[in-house]
Amino acid sequence: MSILKKHYGYTQDGNEVYIFTLTNFNGITAEIINYGGIVTSLKVPDNKGNFDDIVLGYDSLDKYMDDTVYFGAIIGRYANRIENACFELNGKKYELAKNDGRNHLHGGIIGFNKVVWNAEIIKENNNECLQLIYNSKDGEEGYPGNLHVKVTYTLTNDNELKIDYFAVSDKDTIVNLTNHSYFNLSGHSSGDILNHKVMINANKFTEANEEAIPTGEIIDVKDTPMDFTKLTSIKDEIDSDYEQIRFAKGYDHNWVLNVSGNSPEKAAEVFDDKSGRFMEVYTTKPGIQFYTGNFLDNALVGKGNVIYGKRAGLCLETQYFPNSINYKNFPSPILRAGQEYKHTTIYKFSNR
């Protein structure tokens, strides 16, 4: 695997941003910028050998700086939502930004998706990898502790985009990192993803209220539109009258994965009949957020002046459960001072 580094642009405060092109032996390429750690392009072949870019995004840094839908970005310190934008840790209450109604979303006003990361090309197991480093200061966006974060992108010759997350803090804090890429296996400019088929390796999901905040209840997927235990077409139930679907205007929920967390295990699959592209998702995290781009609208102009309409892409965000700091029955996102946070997610591509 090789990595090419090029100038991409400058932020408003004069920081230079670079774009890194990762290429594997099979010709697959991933383009990543060190602003937000954003995956701007991912080109993989269909079953006839034709390459297409399968992630939604923009053509310029300015567009990414103005972005409000988190295309391709690293999300932190805390992915997803925290109810009432506050949490209690060690008897102290921490107030966060209310950037999603009364709630906190994806790390706040200036989350990890809106900062310039230090970038370095490193070698691991004879592979060139892109390592991004960010030091989040104590009190940034309301979170405690100086948090040292490393995110490493590797594109393997097995057609895997591997993302390794690492963090350590000098104070007890909470951490929940993920990637927010929107996938369309027919190609980013091909329309909606309703004909994609999805499998999620989960028998349960976390029930959510009208604000997409978990209620604390964990519900069995059986006999509900949330059952993706086998490959199921997204269009089958996405417009059903099931309360959870109505609340979210589609799918925007956390599934409780059937994984141990000890090593990357199968979390999900996506198959596109049209192109034959097949994507597998592996993770060490206990949950995955499946989002069907319900709030994308026709005002969103993406790469090549493509209009991204409703459901133009889908997200599979590996994570701790939303609002997990506020529920004792959810896996804990607390990172104790000096402990190491480690998390791996793999997106693997093939054809059928």
Q: Which residues contact 49 (CB under 8 A, 6 or more apart)?
A: none
User: Is residue 275 a known part of a binding site?
Assistant: no
For residue 165 the two structure tokens come to 């997350």
Determine contact, residues 175/48, Cβ cutoff 8 Å.
no
Determine contact, residues 34/118, Cβ cutoff 8 Å.
yes
Integer Cα distance of 176 and 152 in angstroms: 16
Query: For the whole prediction, is pTM greater than 0.85?
Result: yes
Residue 194: exposure state from Cβ atoms within 10 A (0-12, 13-18, ≥19): middle
User: Is residue 60 a known part of a binding site?
Assistant: no
pLDDT at 33 over 80: yes
Residues labelled catalytic: 180, 317
User: Is residue 246 a known part of a binding site?
Assistant: no
Average pLDDT over residues 306-328: 97
More confident position, 127 or 159 = 159
Average pLDDT over residues 298-322: 96
Residue 262: exposure state from Cβ atoms within 10 A (0-12, 13-18, ≥19): exposed
| DSSP 8-state code for residue 114 | G
For residue 90 the two structure tokens come to 């060690």
- Describe the strand order of the beta sheet including 127-136 as a list of residue ranges: 118-124, 127-136, 147-155, 160-169, 340-351, 277-283, 265-271, 197-200, 232-233
Tens digit of each residue's pLDDT (9 = 90 or more) over 131-186: 999 999 999 999 999 999 999 999 999 999 999 999 999 999 999 999 999 999 99
User: Is residue 181 a known part of a binding site?
Assistant: yes
pLDDT at 225 over 90: yes
For residue 52 the two structure tokens come to 């297409």
| pLDDT computed for residue 124 by the predictor | 87
Type of residue numbered 53: D
For residue 147 the two structure tokens come to 């948090």
| pLDDT computed for residue 299 by the predictor | 82
Chain mean pLDDT for the chain: 97
Q: How many other CB atoms sit within 10 Å of the CB of residue 247?
A: 16
For residue 45 the two structure tokens come to 């072949």
Tens digit of each residue's pLDDT (9 = 90 or more) over 79-117: 999 999 999 999 999 999 999 999 999 999 999 999 999
Angle at 317 between CA 311 and CA 5, to 5 degrees: 95
The residue with tokens 């198959």 is: 271
| pLDDT computed for residue 298 by the predictor | 79
Tens digit of each residue's pLDDT (9 = 90 or more) over 335-352: 999 999 999 999 999 999
User: Is residue 192 a known part of a binding site?
Assistant: no
pLDDT at 221 over 90: yes
Cα 300 to Cα 9, 58, 103, 114, 186: the distances in Å are 21, 10, 24, 19, 19
What are the chain's domains? 2-351 (2.70.98.10)
User: Is residue 53 a known part of a binding site?
Assistant: no
Closest by Cα among 256, 261, 270, 162 to 201: 256
| pLDDT computed for residue 306 by the predictor | 97
Integer Cα distance of 12 and 10 in angstroms: 7
Tens digit of each residue's pLDDT (9 = 90 or more) over 246-296: 999 999 999 999 999 999 999 999 999 999 999 999 999 999 999 999 999
